[in-house]
Structures are given as structure tokens and as C-alpha cells.
Amino acid sequence: MSETVTEPQPSSGSTFRRDELRWAAALILVVTGLRLWAAADAGLNPDEAYYWYWSRYLAPSYYDHPPMVAYVIRLSTGLLGDAPFGVRFLSLLLIVPISAATYLTGRLLFDRTVGVRGVLWLNATILLGVGGLIATPDVPSALFWILTILTFAIAVRSRHGAWWLLVGGSAGLGVLSKLTDLFLVPGLFLCLLLDRDLRRWLRTPWPWLGVAAAVLVLMPMIRWNLAHDWITFVKQLGRAEPRRFYPQGLPEYVAAQYLLLNPVVATFAAIGVVLGLRRKLVDAAPGLRILIFTSLPLLAYFAVHALFARVEGNWPVPVYASLALIAAVAGERTAGAGLARLRAAAVPIGFVVATVGLMIIANPYGIIPPGSDPARVMHGWDRFAADVAELRRQSGAPWIAASNYSINAVLVYYLRDTGIPIRDVTEPVRYAFAPPPDPSLRGEPPLLASDKPFDQTRHSCFDKLTPVAPADGDRSDRVHMVFAYLAEQPAPGLLTRPC
């Protein structure tokens, strides 16, 4: 990577007219409208309810993740209320600045046509097209990742060192969204080390001031973790511990990303990476190499991780904007009738799949029956919570014990206006952000609620479980079944330590 950073040259085979940016923006707005419609119709899934619970008690960090998703949800619900649409609204709208930053990065590093194709192909990815409506840490993580790439590109293009402060600030906000964004740091330094022209920055104070800016942004989260045994880092980095060889993990990881990225976009991204590393796309380097080398640490880590444990499909989403731009460069710079036909299929495939997926998630008028619902994780939790509340009333239990954090989250969310005490009895460490439980609850027999039956009537938290029969014998219209038990003889330390 020894080429100097020069002004980008226009694509020789530009396929976009001047009005295509407006059409791209219109198409993205249409899909955003579909996401808004689906976001209003679908209930919260357990993870979203869990993050909503965080937002009720803002903290500098949490057990599972840094706090950005809680801040976004708190602002969103402050504007539009606690309904599912209000929880998701701002998170969903973050796709717009992600798209804008992707376009600007493509235009700055390459040209306008790459920027337009890159933003279209980003929105044509299956994961973002369908999953973009869900309020998770992934969306702000992806936003600050591409903003860091954009400000880095501006810094090296303009040669104005002050931009490094924004590079560091954006990177810090990315880590404040999800620890996955830590992989961007070695990627940026890889760019600086492998390019002779960029290497000069390491002899200036600016990159180091950028690091200082990132640390300053992260200081509240670091101090909180210092006071809580580093639980956020222990939880996330614990996933990296190799426990067993998982040979099918790597092909699963590659296949999942090939599908979630959109098979056409993934194909062109692979072409772009190979040609970029082999210096075949000379006019596109070094801009192409900035995208490649900032993406490689994260992608390589997940490839290694996949050899020992499953990599969830959404984990690599922060690099999707970079991969869409790499694919766009390959799509614009590689000729041939076959590739041109394949290139033309990317947007239709992505937007058709997104539309179908959003229709399934919204499930208007309940046209998909509960037993056949492929998006059941998004549906039926309100009915589940209502059933649990009714069983609690019938059994006379003074409080509800949830069998895990997911059940606790949906019960806390959907029963938020009832005043019923609800606690997760299995992992109290997750709730350092919330007020401590009433100690008098421990001596009262709760209703233990789960969506799965226990194989025996003994539970690690209680010595005696008495099944509570559902009031409604016909449960065919339930998406999630309730299994409830009157729990007695609690384990020592219940509600304060794992049982």
C-alpha cells in the first residue's frame, strides 16, 4: 500500500445519470417508510424490551453492552412514548445518516457514481433492509463506524490534522455503542502503517490526540466498569475464549454473511477485496485499501471466532457500509456483460426481500397463523404477558419471578403499568442499573413464569414448584405458551446472587 492519496478519478463506465441520486434517495425513503409501518405493527422482541428497560435507568454502561442504545431509546420514547413505534423510531431513522455518510465517503474516496451505488447497495443488504427496524446496539455502532471512516478520509485527503479529533470522537462513540467498534482502531493504524504517504501522520501528534479524544468520550463507561468488576468487557470478551473446536462454524459464518449482505453485493465485495489487495484496481487505491484494511481486523476475528463458537449474523454489521462501497467500486470498475447483468440484480433482490421480510414482521391482520409464524420472536409477547398476569392473579402470588432475562424483559415492558413486582431470579448481575429489589419479596412465594416447561418440579432457585394450570384450555391462538409454577422454599441469597 505505497500509493499516495490522490484525487479520485471518475468511473470510466459510469452507469448513473445526474438524477440518479434523487431516485436513490426516493427509493431509500420508500423503504424507510415500509420500516416505519412495520415498526408500528410489530411488537417488541425480548432484546428490544431489554434495551427499553435499560432506558428507564440510564447508566454509563450495562452488563451486556455499552449504553448508546439505551440513550437512543430514551430520547425516542421521550418524543413518541413507550409503544413499540416510539421505542424504535430514532433507531430506525439512524439509517438515513448512515446512508448519507456512506454516500459522502464513496464520493470523497472515489466519485459520485460509487457513492450512489454504495448507498443503494447498503440499503439493499438483507440484514439492514429487514433488520434495520429493530432497536439494537448495531445501528448506532454502524453509524459511528462509517462516520469514523468518513472523518478519517477527510483528514488524510485534506491534510488538516484537526480532523483527527473528530476521528477519535466518532470512534469513541462507536465503542460507546458496541465493543465491536474497537476493531476499527487496529484497522486505522494498519492503514497508516502500510501506506508511505499516510505513515507521516504517525510522526505528528494528531492521531494520538484522536486517541485521547476517544478515551475522553469513553471515560464514563470505563469508570463505571472499573466500579463493577469490568462486567461489560468480561461479558463480551468472554465470548472470545476458545472452549471447543467448531468445524462447521467458519462455513456457517461465510454463508450467513453471503446471504445477509445480499448475494450480489457479497460477490462484488469479494471481487473488490481480491482486486484491491492485488492492486488490480489501481485508480481505486488507496481509497479502496482504506475500506479494506479498516474492515479486515473485524472480519478476520470473526472468522477465527467461528472456529470455536457460532458467529451471530448481525455481529459484522458495522462494516456493511464499507463492504457496500468496496462492492460498488468493483461494480463500477469491472466490465463484462455477465457482471453487468449480475450488478443490475442487486437492488431488486435486496428491496424485494426487504419488502417481503417487513410484511412478514408486520403480519397485517394476523394473516400468518401463530403456528406458522417465521417472525414469532416479534409477535405474541403482549398476549404472553397478559396470560402471566392473569395466572398471578388467580394464584395469589405477590410477585412474578422470570426464568431468564428475555422473559423478564417482555414482562417488565408489557406489564409496565400494572405495578406488579417482576424480577429475573437467575442473573441479578444484569440489573446493576436498576433499583435493588424489595428484600421482602424473597420470603413470598412468587409465580415463576417461562415460555418453556421444566423437566422436573425442582428449580435451582426454589426447592418446590407447583405447576399452575392455564385458565384458558384452548391455547391454539398463542404464539408463545406460558408455563407457570408457584415457587416455594427459595435458595439462599435469592435476588442478590445467581442461584
What pLDDT tens digit does each residue of the chain (499 aa) get? 444 444 444 444 445 555 667 777 888 888 888 889 999 888 999 999 999 999 999 999 999 999 999 999 999 999 999 999 999 999 999 999 999 999 999 999 999 999 999 999 999 999 988 888 899 999 999 999 999 999 999 999 998 999 999 999 999 999 999 999 999 999 999 999 988 888 999 999 999 999 999 999 999 999 999 999 899 998 887 765 667 888 899 999 999 999 999 999 999 999 999 888 877 776 667 789 899 999 999 999 999 999 988 899 999 999 999 999 999 999 988 766 678 888 889 989 998 998 999 999 888 877 888 778 888 889 899 999 999 999 999 999 999 999 999 999 999 999 999 999 999 988 888 998 998 888 888 778 999 999 988 766 667 888 888 888 775 555 667 888 889 999 888 887 787 777 7
Strands 483-490 and 462-468: antiparallel
Place of cell 407447583: 466
307 half-sphere exposure, CB direction, 13 A CA radius: 5
Strands 483-490 and 422-424: unpaired
Question: What pLDDT is stored for residue 162 in this prediction?
Answer: 94
Question: What pLDDT is stored for residue 280 in this prediction?
Answer: 72
Nearest partner of 131 among 71, 67, 51, 48, judged by Cα: 48
Rounded Cα gap, residues 382 and 42, in angstroms? 11
Nearest partner of 171 among 218, 214, 215, 202, judged by Cα: 214
Question: What pLDDT is stored for residue 3 in this prediction?
Answer: 42
Question: What pLDDT is stored for residue 335 in this prediction?
Answer: 61
Question: What pLDDT is stored for residue 4 in this prediction?
Answer: 43
Secondary structure of residue 484 in the 3-state scheme: strand
What is the separation of C-alpha 90 from the centre of its chain, rounded to a whole number of angstroms?
Answer: 14
| 429 beta partners | none
3-state SS string for 43-76: CCCHHHHHHHHHHHCCCCCCCCCCCHHHHHHHHH
List C-alpha distances in Å: 93 to 24, 182, 453: 16, 24, 39
List C-alpha distances in Å: 367 to 361, 362, 363, 364: 11, 10, 6, 6
Report the sign of the C-alpha dihedral through residues 265, 266, 267, 273, in that order: positive
What does the angle CA 392 – CA 398 – CA 399 come to, to the nearest 5 degrees? 75
Phi, psi for residue 196 in degrees, rounded to 5: -60, -35
Question: What pLDDT is stored for residue 121 in this prediction?
Answer: 95
Rounded Cα gap, residues 120 and 433, in angstroms? 39
Q: Are 145 and 181 in contact (CB under 8 A)?
A: yes
Phi, psi for residue 308 in degrees, rounded to 5: -125, -20
Q: Are 295 and 234 in contact (CB under 8 A)?
A: no
Grid coordinates given for 321: 457500509
- Residue 237 CB coordination number (10 Å): 12
Secondary structure of residue 308 in the 3-state scheme: coil
Indicate the DSSP class of residue 459.
Answer: B
Rounded Cα gap, residues 68 and 66, in angstroms? 6
List C-alpha distances in Å: 212 to 140, 176, 459: 21, 15, 49
